[in-house]
Amino acid sequence: MQQVNSSPARRLNFVAKTDADVVVGTGANTLILEMDVSQLARLALEILNVGANAFDSFVVEMKVNPDGNYIPILAVAADYTTPAGIVVDASGDLTALGAGATGWLILDALAFYKLKVTASAAVGATSARLFAGGA
């Protein structure tokens, strides 16, 4: 009898990141990252506020097809602090991520085509860095 070893199915791994720190101003939201998620079932984001001021807004928008519009999916504190729907888990309220703090977010992305993340700062400009990975 010959023994057969099987290995787990290969996963499509995907990673993305901002090329440099993004300056996040006050008032209107600033684009931090936009990426294709059409081949991903689950997506993890690591958000670093590397500046001197807290966020006062953190919004995740999704497109369902290339010709569609972005739809705000997550925008208020409760979206992050009470995970439900496509939110698997989050580190806390990303809309108020403090200066020097790191947050994270895990999403089910299977039904979406593209993702866009924007933020604004509370009292003065700050800087953000974002890393993403999924399979």
Q: Domains of the chain: which residue ranges?
A: 14-127
Give which of 110, 115, 87, 131 is closest to 12, Cα–Cα. 110
Give the β-pairing of 14-17 and 126-134: antiparallel
Q: Is the pLDDT of residue 107 over 50?
A: yes
Q: Which residues touch 20 (CB under 8 Å, ≥6 apart)?
A: none
| Mean pLDDT score, 104-116 | 95
pLDDT category of residue 8 using cuts at 50, 70 and 90: very low
At residue 9, the 3 state secondary structure works out as: coil
Q: Which residues touch 58 (CB under 8 Å, ≥6 apart)?
A: 47, 74, 75, 80, 94, 95, 97, 117, 118, 119
At residue 81, the 3 state secondary structure works out as: helix
Return the CA Rg of the chain.
17
pTM: 0.88
Q: Is the pLDDT of residue 130 over 50?
A: yes
pLDDT category of residue 10 using cuts at 50, 70 and 90: very low
pLDDT digits (tens, 9 = 90+) for 11-29: 456 566 777 899 999 989 9
**How many CB atoms are located within 10 Å of the residue 89 CB?**
11
Measured in whole angstroms, the distance separating CA 75 from the mean position of its chain's CA atoms is 12
pLDDT digits (tens, 9 = 90+) for 40-93: 999 999 999 999 999 999 999 999 999 999 999 999 999 999 989 999 999 999
